[in-house]
């Protein structure tokens, strides 16, 4: 699926809310998983694209020896600002960069890693070609994408609740973009178009998403992602109303708190 113009806008208070609420809710388990996979390759130099607020970067800094160079990039400077403010276990090179036009030399990295970012790339084969270009011969491209929204319970409940709240024009960001790029055949085709020739290792990994209350997933998705842009476009007071409605829907399915829901993603590893 293509992205809408505001789907890549992580600005204002979104980076702080994203890091505070969404990172522990859904990103941390997969960050540990990706860092372990990267460490198993014993790389000398690693590039992270679409690093966001640095959850994978921090895990890489813990999992990799100090001799391994880590370069963490993101298109959105506000997200990098938050990542740098939080910091990492050891020095990391933080750099604003567009995954579509990476400012690095051919073959510069042993591993390119991306957590839940490729869904946002406007030209996925083009971004994959850039990852391939900066990888050394025999290097590894590892990334993950969310499975379909029905396999990710909190996101599905929030999206369904907002469809009931705004029946004439439901906000579809979560289904459209974060959960809109999950079909294996499509991903494999885009990788081939990007110049990768090896067969990708493709693994579906389920985990659990937990929060202290039903309101936390509502805030995380409605305020900590570009879904906020869609909701606020519908009126000045709609954001608070949307959070209340999504809180009630989450509590109705999982209880008022603590809440525990399924999340599921695909991890892809490609040899250059």
196-254 pLDDT, tens digit each: 999 999 999 999 999 999 999 999 999 999 999 999 999 988 999 999 999 999 999 99
State the pLDDT at residue 69. 98
Lowest mean pLDDT among 68-72, 84-88, 102-106, 154-158: 84-88
State the pLDDT at residue 68. 98
**Higher per-residue confidence, 42 vs 4:** 42
Model confidence at 9: pLDDT above 90: no
Query: Is the Cα torsion angle 75, 79, 82, 83 positive or negative in sign?
Result: negative
State the pLDDT at residue 15. 83
Alpha-carbon distance 263 to 173, whole Å? 17
State the pLDDT at residue 8. 57
- The CATH homologous superfamily for domain 14-148+176-210+264-271 is Vaccinia Virus protein VP39 (3.40.50.150)
Alpha-carbon distance 196 to 191, whole Å? 6
Torsion of CA 209, 213, 214, 219, to 10 degrees: -80
State the pLDDT at residue 212. 96
Alpha-carbon distance 34 to 131, whole Å? 17
Say how many C-beta atoms besides its own lie within 10 A of residue 30's C-beta: 21
pTM of the model: 0.93
Q: What angle do CA 48, 50, 104 make, to 5 degrees?
A: 55
State the pLDDT at residue 257. 84
Integer angstrom CA distances of residue 62 from 28, 111, 160, 232 = 14, 16, 38, 38
Helix axes 153-165, 238-254, angle to 10 degrees: 130
State the pLDDT at residue 11. 47
Tens of pLDDT, residues 175-205: 999 999 999 999 999 999 999 999 999 999 9
State the pLDDT at residue 5. 52
Tens of pLDDT, residues 47-65: 999 999 999 999 999 999 9
State the pLDDT at residue 71. 98
In sequence order, what are the beta bridge partners of 265? Answer: 146, 205
Residue 68 and residue 40 in contact, taking contact as beta carbons nearer than 8 Å: no
In sequence order, what are the beta bridge partners of 271? Answer: 140
State the pLDDT at residue 1. 38
Alpha-carbon distance 71 to 16, whole Å? 22
| Secondary structure of residue 187 in the 3-state scheme | helix
Tens of pLDDT, residues 82-139: 999 999 999 999 999 999 999 999 999 999 999 999 999 999 999 999 999 999 999 9
**Average of pLDDT values for 25-40?**
96
């Amino acid at each position: 699926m293509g992205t809408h113009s505001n789907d890549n806008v992580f600005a204002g208070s979104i980076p702080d809310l994203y890091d505070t609420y969404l990172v522990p809710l859904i990103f941390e388990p997969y960050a540990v998983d990706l860092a372990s996979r990267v460490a198993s390759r014993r790389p000398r130099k690693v590039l992270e694209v679409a690093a966001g607020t640095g959850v994978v970067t921090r895990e890489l800094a813990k999992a990799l020896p100090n001799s391994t160079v880590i370069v963490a990039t993101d298109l959105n400077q506000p997200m990098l600002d938050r990542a740098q403010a939080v910091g990492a276990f050891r020095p990391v090179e933080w750099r604003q960069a567009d995954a579509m036009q990476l400012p690095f030399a051919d073959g510069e990295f042993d591993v390119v890693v991306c957590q839940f970012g490729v869904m946002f790339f406007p030209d996925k084969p083009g971004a994959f070609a850039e990852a391939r270009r900066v990888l050394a011969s025999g290097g590894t491209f590892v990334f993950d994408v969310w499975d379909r929204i029905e396999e990710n319970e909190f996101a599905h409940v929030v999206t369904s609740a907002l469809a009931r709240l705004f029946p004439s024009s439901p906000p579809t960001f979560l289904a459209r973009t974060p959960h809109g790029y999950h079909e294996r055949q499509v991903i494999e085709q885009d990788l081939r178009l990007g110049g990768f020739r090896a067969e990708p290792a493709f693994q579906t990994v389920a985990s659990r998403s937990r929060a202290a209350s039903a309101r936390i997933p509502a805030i995380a998705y409605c305020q900590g992602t570009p879904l906020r842009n869609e909701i606020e476009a519908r009126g000045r007071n709609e954001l608070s109303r949307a959070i209340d409605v999504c809180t009630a829907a989450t509590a109705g399915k999982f209880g008022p708190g603590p809440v525990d829901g399924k999340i599921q993603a695909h991890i892809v590893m490609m040899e250059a």
